[in-house]
Amino acid sequence: MKRIIAVIVSALSSFACTAPPGNNSAITNANKPAETTSTISEAQVIAKEKDAWDAVKNKNPEGFRKIMADNGLYVSHHGVLDPAGIVRETAELELTELSFSDWKVVTIDKDAVVVTYTAHINGRIKGMPLVSSQVRGSTAWVNRNGNWLAIYHQDCEAKPAPTTGTNKPAKPASSPAVTSSPVSTSADAIANEKIIWDALKNRDFDAFEALLASDSIEVEPGGVSDKSGSVKGVSEMDFSKAVLSDWQSLKIDEDAALVTYMVKGGNIDPSGEHHTTIWVKRDGRWLAIFHQGTPVLKELKPVSEKPGSSPSPKSKSPPIKY
- pLDDT averaged per 10 residues, the chain (length 322): 42 39 38 64 93 88 93 88 86 86 95 95 83 88 96 92 56 46 90 97 96 97 96 94 96 98 89 96 97 81 52 38 28
Q: What is the DSSP string of 169-238?
A: PPPPPSSPPPP-SPPP--S-HHHHHHHHHHHHHTT-HHHHHHTEEEEEEEEETTEEE-HHHHHHHHHTS-
Distance of alpha carbon 172 from alpha carbon 174, whole angstroms: 6
Residue-range domain boundaries for the chain:
2-160+298-304, 189-295
Distance of alpha carbon 71 from alpha carbon 150, whole angstroms: 10
* Model confidence, pTM: 0.81
pLDDT score at 237: 92
Nearest to 10 by CA among 110, 99, 138: 138
* DSSP symbol at 301: -
Displacement of CA 169 from its chain's centroid (Å): 25
User: What CA–CA distances, in Å, run from 214 to 32, 140, 279?
Assistant: 8, 18, 13
Judge whether 2-160+298-304 and 189-295 match in fold: yes
* Topology of the domain covering 2-160+298-304: Nuclear Transport Factor 2; Chain: A, (3.10.450)
pLDDT score at 181: 67
pLDDT score at 72: 93
Q: Which 3 state secondary structure label does DSSP give 247?
A: strand
Distance of alpha carbon 5 from alpha carbon 130, whole angstroms: 7
pLDDT score at 302: 56
Tell whether domain 189-295 is in CATH 2.160.10.10.
no
